[in-house]
Amino acid sequence: MTRYIQQRLLLMLPTILLTTLVVFLMLQLIPGDPASIYLGENQATPERLEQIREQLGLNRPLYVQYGDFVLKAVRGDLGRSVQTNRPVIQEITDRLPNTIILAVLSMALAMIFGITLGMLAGLNQNSWLDAILMLAALAGVSIPVFWLGLLLILLFAVQLGWLPATGQGGWNSLIMPAVTLAALSTATLARLVRASMIEVLNQDYLQTSRAKGLPQVTIVVRHALPNALIPIVTVIGLQFGNLLSGAVITETVFARSGLGKLVVDSIQNKDLPTVQGVILVLATIYVVVNFVVDLSYAVIDPRIRLQ
Amino acid sequence: MAMVESKALVQASERVTQPGRPARSAALRRLRRNRAAVGGLVVFSLIVVMAVAAPIIAPSNPTRVNPIDALQPPSPWYWMGTDAFGRQNLSRVIWGSQTSVQIGFVAVTISVVGGAILGLFAGYHRGWIDLLVMRLTDVMLAFPGILLALVIIAVLGRNLTSAMIAVGISAMPTYIRVVRSSVLSVRGNEYVIAAQVIGCGGNRILLRHILPNVIAPVIVLATLGIPSAIIAGASLSFLGLGVQPPTADWGEMLSSGRNQFALAPWLSIFPGLAIVITVLSINLFGDGLRDALDPRQQR
């Protein structure tokens, strides 16, 4: 098991390193002078530009700049926001909890409903319940997140007045964003759980357990579910990434402060240091989450540990 | 969002194998029997026709401002109402199909062409090319969902072209992986070795012998990629990072309609409905296509 962890860790580090390279190169790839891009559209006098070049070390060779970028990033120094002139890392840490709470709550909703509904559909394959659930799931993957958010606001905030439309007061302002964000993952999971369940239910060992007269509950919970879950765990890790990126849209729809809204606003304001910082943080979180998922995969499925 | 089901899609499309001629007509027969899939194809074809014929069928110019009739609710004169500038919502929904269909097709073409080239080379030549391409896909996949598109748009600027490129590139890793793994499974086959023995060049073998035999899963993936690309494109426009006003686009319409949300809900309902109908229709067709080509479905 230790060897497995080491192996996964060794695979993860180069990915994160290359991610920093992509984020670093963003600045170089934008047409125009990096210094004036860094400054944004304001106060680009020649002196100020030269000062920025000196300050950011833009006069040095590219590989030196990259090394510097990585070393600073490791120490949590992601530069300063062009918009607010505060350290980017501070802008990020201010908003990170909001986004994490939203993503984790949505993940919990998606797992509870996705797995339950998927199992119901899989166990009742080709029944009317299955048909309805799968139609709902197909609708779920076909509805754009932002439109679902708008419809929920229209119904629950504008028409019924039950929930606040935007902002982040108490828990009730979290309900609609979380449901909106969870919808797509719930539908995706339900479709997968159903397929996985059907595949497992057709295996010989389940025929055996049925033949020896085990009660249906035992068959499903003890024998079918654990094996059906194996492919699902991987997908849950991938879904977490989709939730992080879905937060970009959900936070904009509900005007919630968070990393997603920060990155969209920063792109619109041409605040490149902030864009770089947020993208780097989100990608790193995603890679680390998938590392953890890989490990849990080995816990669930002993065959992987032994490889 | 473009990669919502990417892993699952990879697994599903890997099960889709290249059918021989009799199997191909059997697949076609299965597809034709699937009513949902046929219905989806019909609806999507109508939407493509609507996009092409927009200048003829739209009742008015989608960008012409008419302040006197601003924010009219749906009525016999304005079927879908008007927006804050008095522009007819119906005309804008009809014209909006153009950008959506365009993003769907162009972005998927970028993913397919790029993914096929990289996947073919990586899978056939192996060695350092393979290593390089696989590392590249790993890095691309480290930016989940719409994030890679955001990186590309931050670099290229906010407009329709960069949105199409961004969506196309960010969906590419899935295609690279599927093509590569299909190539790996056929490269040792006798017909490939035979082609090598009679002295065919590498590119000729790739294009004439290997490509036609790995294309089926890519077709399924591409079909299911169109709705994802349309949603991703609309999301970018909704965030103000894709199509810019005053061009009619469903995502952009939802974004501007949001300000008059409580006052004029029709501005938010119709464009969203248009996206859902379009996406649902291709999803139904794509699901049907996948089931028809999946040999395990044969009973």
CB-CB: which of A150, A242, A272 is closest to B1? A242
Phi first, then psi, for residue A252 (nearest 5°) are: -70, -45
Q: What is the 3-state secondary structure (H, E, C) of A143-172?
A: CCHHHHHHHHHHHHHHHCCCCCCCCCCCCH
Write the CA distances from B210 to B16, B125, B173, B182, integer angstroms.
16, 12, 20, 9
List, for residues B148-193, the tens digit of each pLDDT value. 898 898 888 888 999 999 999 999 998 998 899 888 888 888 888 8
3-state secondary structure of B62: coil
- In the numeric block, the tokens 């989709």 are attached to A242
Over residues A292-296, mean pLDDT: 80
| Residue among B13, B14, B147 with most chain A CBs within 10 A, to mutate | B147
Q: Which of A207-216, B79-88, B247-256, B276-285 has the highest mean pLDDT?
A: B276-285
How much is the pLDDT for B3?
A: 39
* Amino acid (one-letter) located at B52: V
What pLDDT score was predicted for residue B1? Answer: 36
Count of Cβ atoms closer than 10 Å to residue B256 Cβ: 19
Answer whether residue B2 shows pLDDT above 50. Answer: no
**Burial profile A64-85: b = 16 or more Cβ within 10 angstroms, e = fewer:** ebeeebeeebeeeebbbbbbee
Q: Can you say how many angstroms the Cα of residue B93 is from the centroid of all Cα atoms in its chain? A: 19
Indicate the burial class of A97 (C-beta count within 10 angstroms; 0-12, 13-18, 19 or more).
exposed
**Which residues of chain B have a CB within 8 Å of the CB of A143?**
276, 279
The whole-angstrom separation of Cα A305 and Cα A298 is 5
**What single-letter amino acid sits at B203?**
N
The mean per-residue pLDDT over the stretch B9-20 comes to 61
Of B1, B135, B269, the CB nearest to A18: B135
pLDDT in tens, B94-138: 898 999 999 999 999 999 999 999 999 998 888 898 988 988 888
For B251, the token pair is 């995502």
Cis omega (within 30 of 0) for bond into B246: yes
Cβ(A260)–Cβ(A106) below 8 Å: no
Q: What is the pLDDT of residue A55?
A: 75
Q: Do the Cβ atoms of B272 and A144 come within 8 Å?
A: yes
pLDDT at B161: 92
Out of A18, A235, A240, the one facing B139 most closely (by C-beta) is A18
Question: Which residues of chain B lie closer than 8 angstroms to A275, CB-CB?
Answer: 150-151, 154
Distance CA B218, CA B231 (A): 20
Asked if B37 is an interface residue toward chain A (Cβ–Cβ < 8 A), one would say no
Most confident of A35-49, A189-203, B267-281: B267-281
Q: Over 80: is that where the pLDDT of A168 sits?
A: no
More confident residue, B11 or A257: A257
The 3-state DSSP class for residue B299 equals: coil
Sign of CA dihedral A276, A278, A283, A285: positive
Please report, in angstroms and rounded to a whole number, the separation of the first and last CA atoms in chain B.
Answer: 34
How many angstroms away from the CA of A147 is the closest CA of chain B? 6
Q: Does A146 touch chain B (CB under 8 A)?
A: yes
Top residue of B5, B34, B93 to mutate, by most chain A CBs within 10 Å, is: B5
The ipTM, to two decimals, is: 0.83
Return the pLDDT at B5. 44
- For B207-252, the three-class secondary structure string (H helix, E strand, C coil) is HHHHHHHHHHHHHHHHHHHHHHHHHHHHHHHHCCCCCCCCCCCHHH
More confident residue, B226 or A173: B226
Q: Which residues of A touch B265 (CB under 8 A)?
A: 154, 158
pLDDT tens digits for B215-224?
A: 888 888 898 8
Q: Of the candidates A208, B111, A88, B258, which has an alpha carbon nearest to the alpha carbon of residue B266?
A: B258
- Asked if residue B11 has pLDDT above 70, the reply is no
Residue reference for tokens 């509950």: A217
The radius of gyration computed from the CA coordinates of chain A, to the nearest angstrom, equals 24
Q: In this predicted structure, what is the pLDDT of residue B299?
A: 34
CB contact under 8 A, B145 and A272: no
Nearest Cα residue in chain B from A158: B262
- pLDDT tens sequence across A78-123: 888 877 888 889 889 999 998 988 999 999 999 999 989 998 898 8
Among partner residues A146, A192, A241, which is closest to B145 by beta-carbon distance? A241
Higher per-residue confidence, A179 vs A299? A179
Measured distance CA(B3)–CA(B294) in Å, rounded: 21
Mean per-residue pLDDT of chain A: 83
Say what the pLDDT of residue B14 is: 59
Between chain A and chain B, how many beta carbons pairs sit less than 8 Å apart? Answer: 155
* Helical segments of chain B, H only: 6-15, 21-33, 35-52, 54-57, 89-125, 127-141, 147-156, 160-170, 172-186, 190-197, 202-204, 211-238, 250-257, 266-293
Average pLDDT over residues A255-265: 88
More confident residue, B14 or A281: A281
CA distances from B253 to A144, A179, B53, B103, B226 (A): 14, 23, 20, 16, 20
Q: A228 falls in which pLDDT band (50, 70, 90)? A: confident
SS (H, E, C) chain A: CHHHHHHHHHHHHHHHHHHHHHHHHHHHHCCCCHHHHHHCCCCCCHHHHHHHHHHHCCCCCHHHHHHHHHHHHHCCCCCECCCCCCEHHHHHHHHHHHHHHHHHHHHHHHHHHHHHHHHHHHHCCCCHHHHHHHHHHHHHHHCCHHHHHHHHHHHHHHHCCCCCCCCCCCCHHHHHHHHHHHHHHHHHHHHHHHHHHHHHHCCHHHHHHHHCCCCHHHHHHHHHHHHHHHHHHHHHHHHHHHHHHHHHHHHHHCCCCCHHHHHHHHHHCCCHHHHHHHHHHHHHHHHHHHHHHHHHHHHHCHHHHHC
Q: What is the pLDDT of residue A81?
A: 82
Q: Which two tokens stand for residue B268?
A: 């938010």
Q: What tokens does A43 get?
A: 């106060």
- Highest mean pLDDT, choosing among A43-47, A87-91, A237-241, B67-71: A87-91
Question: What pLDDT, on a 0 to 100 scale, did the predictor assign at position B43?
Answer: 93
Q: Which residues 12-31 in chain A show a CB within 8 A of chain B?
A: 14-16, 18-19, 21-23, 26, 29-30
Contacts of A147 in chain B (CB under 8 A): 254, 268, 272, 275-276
pLDDT of residue B55: 86
DSSP state of B280: H
Distance from CA of B202 to the nearest CA of A (A): 31
